[in-house]
Amino acid sequence: MDVRTICLGILTRGDATGYEIKNLFEEDGYQHFVEASFGSIYPALNRLTEDGLVSAREEAQEKRPDRKVYSITPAGRSAFIASLLKPLPEDRHRSPFVFAMLFSDLLPGARVASMFDAYSAQIQTKLALLQESNGKQKTQGEEFANGFGRAIYEAMLNFLKTERAKYETAEAVAAE
Amino acid sequence: MDVRTICLGILTRGDATGYEIKNLFEEDGYQHFVEASFGSIYPALNRLTEDGLVSAREEAQEKRPDRKVYSITPAGRSAFIASLLKPLPEDRHRSPFVFAMLFSDLLPGARVASMFDAYSAQIQTKLALLQESNGKQKTQGEEFANGFGRAIYEAMLNFLKTERAKYETAEAVAAE
DNA sequence: GCCGATCTATATCGGACCAATATAGATACG
DNA sequence: CGTATCTATATTGGTCCGATATAGATCGGC
């Protein structure tokens, strides 16, 4: 899913600025499976405007930077739906942590333990975010995404918990 | 995890060509959490060679294209371990499918159903691959990665199964 | 009351990475 | 006998991210 398509999708739910689009990923997290950076959102919105798939109106604000509020056009809506009818790219789940674990035999036990605990805490945090926002979903799709995310994070945590005993504790190592 | 680090890691397990490194991702799947393309592997190996972190020897082959076999140097091994001691980047799980599901209300029911089933089949295939290779792992790290992957895919499939009934079946739609 | 941090808001640039393509002989399959 | 797949390296166009620049406003703490 390229950033242009992602922007179109968000704009089907209402007008927004580039800044607001980015924040949707961080606040709502858009359920953790979609992301884009400023460095790709702003150029994407420019190209969408050129192509007539969105329209922009500038709002000069007092005491705040000017805003460019984008709206999706009928052509944009069609293009968006058309892109969802094409075969979808596969998921890509990149995990530097799993990569590092593949080489745990080369690392000090203390490092493995701390890496493990940090990762578990991170997943726990992400799960908590989804649980917190659970129930606030507006569409069936958002409910699905929230539930899917929770199912995955819970499974990850469960597995991590059962594996944890195989590695020395960070405290035990510190005590040596 | 940048591609250079990934290449270094693979080379700690033995010498390999760029071609072989790429195939590790596809055959072993490197447990589905690590990937890189030719377009980034070859330049990465060149830069690693320049930096003295790997060495290359060319093997002219009869009846086959020449091979450049790379070996990690002591400096490369140190650099690799050092990079695993630094804080790890977070996982990134991008799912065009979940993104599409967020907009299921804009799509024909038949499309949602077929998309859903195609995705389930895809995850099922990936799970089967991990189950097939389960037991063939050489290191503790590989066993961890395999188990982690299976736990995640199983949770995904379970969730998909419980949600499936909410969407019309592809067959029912086709029959209309 | 003031200082630093965070927020609103857009934008660009370098670098990293991917997908597609080019090349080319070998082997395998039907 | 032709086509597809395999071994093997490499480049290119384009996409995307992370860092950085800019700049006034607001907010919290001391």
Q: Contact at 8 Å (CB) between B119 and A145? A: no
Q: Which of A112-126, B9-23, B128-142 has the lowest mean pLDDT?
A: B128-142
- ipTM of the predicted structure? 0.92
What value does the mean pLDDT take over residues B113-132? 93
pLDDT at B168 over 80: no
Query: Could you tell me if A158 lies within 8 Å of chain B, comparing CB atoms?
Result: yes
Query: Could you tell me if B138 lies within 8 Å of chain A, comparing CB atoms?
Result: no
Contact list in B for residue A97 (CB cut-off 8 A) is 88, 91
What value does the mean pLDDT take over residues B92-118? 95
pLDDT at B60 over 80: no
**SS3 at position A89:** coil
Place of tokens 């499976």: A33
User: In this predicted model, what pLDDT tens digit does every residue of B80-98 receive, in sequence order?
Assistant: 999 999 999 999 999 999 9
Q: Measured between alpha carbons, how far is A125 from B90 in angstroms, rounded to an integer?
A: 12
Residue of A92, A73, A6, A86 lying closest to A44 (CA atoms): A6
pLDDT at A35 over 70: yes
Query: What CATH code is assigned to B3-85?
Result: 1.10.10.10
Averaged pLDDT score across all residues of chain A: 91
| Token pair in block for residue B30 | 């490197």
Pairing label, strands A67-72, A54-59: antiparallel
pLDDT confidence of residue A29: 74
CB of B61 within 7 Å of some strand D atom: yes
Alpha carbon of A174 to those of A109, A111, A168, A170: distances in Å?
Answer: 11, 11, 10, 6
User: In this predicted model, what pLDDT tens digit does every residue of A63-112 receive, in sequence order?
Assistant: 666 789 999 999 999 999 999 999 999 999 999 999 999 999 999 999 99
Of B30, B91, B156, the CB nearest to A151: B156
pLDDT confidence of residue A135: 85
What value does the mean pLDDT take over residues A29-58? 93
